[in-house]
Amino acid sequence: MTERIFNFSAGPAVLPLPVLEEAQRDLVALQGVGMSVLEISHRSKTFEAIRDGAESDIRKLAGISDDYAVLFLQGGATLQFSMVPMNLLPTDGTADYVDTGSWASKAAKEAGKVARVHLAGSSKATSYDRIPAAADLEWSATPAYVHMTSNNTIYGTQWHRLPEIPRDAILVNDASSDIFCRPADFSRFGLVYAGAQKNLSIAGLTLVIVRKDLLERAPESLPVYLRYATHAGSESMYNTPPTFAIYVLRLVLRWLLDQGGLTAIGERNERKAGKLYAEIDRSGFWRGHARSDSRSWMNVTFRLPSEELEQRFVAEATAAGLDGLKGHRSVGGVRASIYNAFPDAGVDALVDFMREFERRNG
């Protein structure tokens, strides 16, 4: 077997090795079923058990009550940028958006096609290096909802405390790049969505957790696929769901539970990120992009003294089996994505590599 390298990709991203091994075993013929997991009907008992198991494991892992529907959709966060306002924002209403990066900004733009958008705060002026402070957030009078992006993949920033929003407003969160990275009180949210390809499963699946009382806000004229109620009323089986991605999700959820659940995962993520930030802060050689209070546990972004050194760093790291470290073009430098499934050994290897690189180039 080809040896595995350390994959720091921002997504699609690394999956737990036991998940890959189990998926590999089932890939030609599921035990006792006689066909591949890729071939089973979404109406079969085998798949129903997988789907039901994924939903119940999500509820167990994150403490999601029956007041919420758990939906398995397609189209990524990008389709959610539109589905959220199409379902929750009346055409004469206003939605408040906090602009913490490119994706948050794209989400606001799509909402603007449906109704009025109020920009409650932005860190654009400082290259999205922070989550706006509470004092810098100004809500509109009666927002239909408030939209936040809990982790900003490109810039490496993360909300570590939820915003205080107007009473009766609904908090909507794009959690694509940090869902289930630690315990969270989901009852604070009206709707949470997440593309699966970072912390949950493979690309092609979108998880939506939505309070059931919000489902009926959508106008009748909405396309059937774009109505949350369509999927909530049919256990996400109105049309053929992405069966294999849901199967991989199920395996990942089992793995998260086996690790000790979100408390244990959160401790591990904080420790992993802490090692990298400690190294960044150790000398003046590295320069973190995110302000200390906004640093992400999932995407660690930093610069080197020159672009030439940054290019060399990425090239040499790749050659050393540390892949996917090139920063997004809008920030430059280095980005280490260290999602739930990213192993401690990979973080240690990167820290060692950074020390050695600084010794040779510092």
Positions annotated as catalytic residues are: 103, 174, 198
Q: Where are the alpha helices (DSSP H) in the chain?
A: 17-25, 45-62, 76-88, 102-111, 228-232, 243-258, 261-282, 307-319, 344-361
The single-letter code of the amino acid at 282 is R
Site residues for its own copies, 304-323, by CB under 8 A, read 321, 323
Beta carbon nearer to its own copies, 113 or 282: 113
- The verdict on 240 binding its own copies (CB under 8 A) reads yes
- The verdict on 235 binding its own copies (CB under 8 A) reads no
Site stretch for its own copies (CB under 8 A), options 16-24, 138-146, 157-165, 256-264: 16-24
Q: What is the C-alpha R_g of the chain?
A: 21
- The verdict on 298 binding its own copies (CB under 8 A) reads no
Beta carbon nearer to its own copies, 158 or 243: 243
Identify the residue among 92, 167, 223, 284 touching its own copies (CB under 8 A).
Answer: 223
- The verdict on 333 binding its own copies (CB under 8 A) reads no
- The verdict on 324 binding its own copies (CB under 8 A) reads yes
- The verdict on 241 binding its own copies (CB under 8 A) reads yes
C-alpha torsion sign, points 107, 181, 163, 336? negative
Site stretch for its own copies (CB under 8 A), options 9-17, 88-96, 127-135, 282-290: 9-17
Beta carbon nearer to its own copies, 30 or 70: 30
CA proximity to 302, closest of 310, 294, 59 = 310
Q: Minimum Å distance from CB 33 to its own copies?
A: 7
Eight-class DSSP state of 125: G
- The verdict on 299 binding its own copies (CB under 8 A) reads no
* Six token digits for residue 148: 């936040």
CA proximity to 50, closest of 187, 245, 205 = 245
User: Interior CA angle at 173 toward 333 and 193, to 5°?
Assistant: 95
Residues across the chain: 362
Site residues for its own copies, 99-138, by CB under 8 A, read 106, 109-110, 113
**C-alpha atoms less than 13 angstroms from C-alpha of 203 in its C-beta half-sphere:** 6
